[in-house]
């Protein structure tokens, strides 16, 4: 057990577990176009809402973490 | 000032609507699809007592009024041009304290930005290529960007993979130092440039008829002046004012998971989690849950909650805590050890067949497509409070 690379890093271990679980979920079923009534709903879009743009922008500046959420993740001084 | 901004925004909307309405007559480009127009108006206000301009102690009062217009114009059956323009007016009490001698309640400034994206879809391969150019200008800061994106869609099973690369070339047009340091040897920075290399990798797939997911990685490397030249630092040794000093390199790696599940017929669960790590020692976790409730086909109410926690950057210390001789200094609480909560409510109205139709030209009909109103409250554990209200209206031009 001493050789496990993530044994000393529980955060990384958790992230790896989540990613593995998601990968397992990736064994997905084919959904035909006529079965996409729920998936095509506007709230199912895999992206942030346009109305959240300024909130994301503010969070990018008020917190040290940014990115992987859509919108700008570079550019601008963020100095106010 | 507000009236001016609203008037300017509405005039922009009218002008662009008029221009695209004229396109079939005035150029050889053949429009075969609908033109989407989105207009976002947002007001943000914050207050706190840890301004980096005054060394980690002092007013952070800020107001920000933004209007953004996004127009999607299909040029033909495969190419789309997206034009996004924004104008932001802000009023910052802390920026006013850069210069103590010229004092007012707060400093008022404008920022403008423009972004152009050309997308080309290849039906034979199921791929889309994007070419992007953008620029934004603050009073003292210019940012330009170039980007390229590639997306492939597999219909069965339903999957999508995207790569988006972006390069930002930023520069401080004027280097503004705290007034007491101007002309002294402490008022020096190594460069006025900042380069950002950003790559976003996004893989999304359908798990079943009600569930879909995406994983996103967005490694980003920055080089240049990553500190702000008017941020002060006061040391424990009481040796006067120093400038914020930060490394010239920063590598950031956010990894995110998004899961959207349609439960029953009226409720959607939108879950988002992000892990973030960077070369300055920050590790962060962000969780966001949004639950839209559908009241019929046209009306949706969506409460949301977001929690964020992060460790401090290696170079952060609060007011009068840094010691003389340290290599890097910052008292910017944005880089501190913190927890934050954001919660709020949104409503969306999307009439099935559109309402409020009107004509700007003889051949083009503009139709109101939808409306979204959103309010959010933000609380950071160090006492910074903020709220934001946004209105997004969308139109379609046929």
Q: What is the DSSP letter of B245?
A: B
> Cβ–Cβ of A68/B274 closer than 8 Å?
yes
State the pLDDT at residue A24: 58
Task: Report pLDDT digits (tens) over B94-150.
Answer: 777 787 655 455 678 899 999 999 999 999 999 999 999 999 998 889 999 999 999
Pairing of the two strands B35-47 and B385-397:
antiparallel
Structure tokens at B135: 């620029």
Cβ within 8 Å of residue A24, ≥6 positions away: none
A3 in contact with B, Cβ within 8 Å: no
Mean pLDDT value across residues B309-337:
94
| Chain CA centroid to CA B151, Å | 22
Task: Provide, as residue numbers in chain A, all residues whose Cβ is less than 8 Å from the Cβ of B215.
Answer: 19, 22
State the pLDDT at residue A29: 72
Measured distance CA(B241)–CA(B168) in Å, rounded: 31
Residue A5: which pLDDT band, with cuts at 50, 70 and 90?
very low
A24 in contact with B, Cβ within 8 Å: no
> Cβ–Cβ of B284/A35 closer than 8 Å?
no
Measured distance CA(B391)–CA(B176) in Å, rounded: 34
**Which residue would you say has higher pLDDT here, B157 or B271?**
B271
Q: Helix (H, G, I), strand (E, B), or coil: what is residue B206?
A: strand
Structure tokens at B26: 């005035």
A11, containing H or E segment: helix A10-25
Mean pLDDT (chain B) is 88
Measured distance CA(B62)–CA(B93) in Å, rounded: 6
> Cβ–Cβ of A44/B70 closer than 8 Å?
no
Alpha helices in B27-119 (DSSP H): 93-96
State the pLDDT at residue B334: 94
State the pLDDT at residue B210: 93
Measured distance CA(B356)–CA(B350) in Å, rounded: 12
**Which residue would you say has higher pLDDT here, A34 or A9?**
A34
Q: In 10 A of CB B201, how many CB atoms?
A: 16
Alpha-carbon torsion (B262, B267, B268, B269), positive or negative: negative
CA dihedral B351, B352, B353, B358 (to 10 degrees): 20
State the pLDDT at residue B9: 47
State the pLDDT at residue B371: 92
State the pLDDT at residue B102: 52
> Cβ–Cβ of A43/B268 closer than 8 Å?
yes
Residue B349 has pLDDT above 70, yes or no: yes
Measured distance CA(A2)–CA(B118) in Å, rounded: 52
A9 in contact with B, Cβ within 8 Å: no
> Cβ–Cβ of A76/B138 closer than 8 Å?
yes
C-alpha pair distances (Å), B236 with each of B63, B125, B240, B306, B314: 32, 63, 10, 36, 17
Task: Provide, as residue numbers in chain A, all residues whose Cβ is less than 8 Å from the Cβ of B70.
Answer: 50
Q: Which of A11, A39, A69 faces B209 most closely, judged by CB atoms? A: A39
Mean pLDDT value across residues B282-303:
95
C-alpha pair distances (Å), B383 with each of A56, B229, B292, B341, B378: 19, 25, 30, 12, 10
Q: Which of B136, B198, B209 faces A35 most closely, judged by CB atoms? A: B209
Q: Could you tell me what percent of chain B has a pLDDT over 90?
A: 71
Nearest chain A CA: its distance from B186 CA (Å): 20
| Chain CA centroid to CA B31, Å | 30
Mean pLDDT value across residues B154-175:
91
> Cβ–Cβ of A41/B268 closer than 8 Å?
yes
Alpha helices in chain B (DSSP H): 2-26, 93-96
B44 in contact with A, Cβ within 8 Å: yes
- Give contacts of B 6-35 with A, CB under 8 A: none
pTM: 0.86
When scoring A36, A37, A43, A68 by the number of chain B Cβ atoms within 10 A, the one with the most, hence best to mutate, is A68
Specify the range with the lowest mean pLDDT, choosing from B35-44, B70-79, B102-111, B244-253: B102-111
Nearest chain B CA: its distance from A77 CA (Å): 7
Measured distance CA(A47)–CA(A64) in Å, rounded: 22
């Amino acid at each position: 057990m001493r050789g496990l690379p993530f044994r000393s890093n529980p955060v990384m271990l958790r992230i790896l577990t989540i990613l593995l679980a998601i990968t397992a979920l990736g064994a997905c079923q084919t959904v035909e176009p006529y079965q996409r009534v729920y998936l095509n709903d506007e709230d199912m879009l895999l992206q942030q809402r346009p109305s959240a743009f300024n909130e994301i922008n503010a969070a990018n500046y008020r917190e040290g973490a940014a990115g992987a959420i859509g919108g700008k993740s570079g550019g601008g001084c963020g100095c106010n | 000032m507000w009236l001016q901004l609203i008037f300017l925004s509405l005039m922009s909307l009218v002008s662009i609507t008029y221009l695209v309405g004229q396109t079939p007559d005035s150029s050889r480009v053949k429009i075969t699809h609908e033109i989407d127009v989105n207009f976002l108006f947002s007001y943000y206000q914050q207050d706190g007592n840890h301004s980096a301009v005054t060394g980690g102690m002092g007013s952070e009062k800020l107001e920000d009024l933004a209007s953004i217009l996004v127009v999607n114009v299909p040029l033909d059956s495969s190419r789309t041009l997206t034009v996004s323009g924004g104008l932001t007016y802000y009023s910052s009490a802390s920026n006013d304290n850069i210069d103590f001698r010229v004092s007012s309640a707060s400093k008022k400034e404008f920022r403008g930005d423009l972004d152009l994206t050309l997308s080309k879809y290849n039906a034979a391969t199921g791929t889309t290529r994007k070419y992007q150019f953008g620029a934004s200008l603050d009073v003292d800061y210019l940012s330009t960007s170039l980007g390229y994106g590639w997306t492939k869609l597999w219909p069965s099973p339903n999957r999508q993979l995207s790569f988006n690369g972006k390069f930002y070339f930023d520069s401080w047009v004027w280097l503004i130092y705290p007034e007491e340091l101007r002309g002294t040897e402490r008022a020096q920075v190594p460069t006025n440039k900042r380069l950002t290399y950003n790559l976003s990798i996004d893989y999304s797939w359908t798990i079943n008829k009600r569930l879909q997911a995406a994983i996103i990685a967005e490694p980003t490397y920055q080089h240049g002046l990553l500190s702000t030249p008017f941020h002060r630092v006061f040391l424990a040794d009481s040796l006067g004012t120093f400038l914020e000093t930060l490394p010239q390199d920063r590598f950031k790696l956010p990894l995110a998971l998004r899961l959207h599940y349609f439960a029953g017929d009226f409720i959607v669960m939108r879950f988002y989690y992000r892990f973030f790590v960077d070369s300055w020692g920050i590790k962060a976790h962000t969780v966001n849950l949004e639950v839209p409730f559908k009241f019929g086909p046209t009306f949706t109410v969506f409460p949301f909650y977001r929690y964020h926690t992060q460790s401090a950057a290696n170079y952060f210390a609060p007011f009068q805590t840094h010691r003389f001789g340290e290599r890097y200094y910052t008292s910017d609480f944005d880089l501190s050890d913190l927890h934050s909560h954001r919660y709020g409510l949104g409503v969306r109205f999307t009439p099935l067949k559109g309402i409020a139709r009107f004509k700007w030209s003889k051949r083009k009909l503009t139709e109101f497509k939808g409306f979204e109103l959103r309010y959010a409250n933000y609380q950071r554990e160090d006492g910074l409070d903020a709220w934001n209200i946004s209105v997004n209206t969308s139109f379609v031009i046929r």
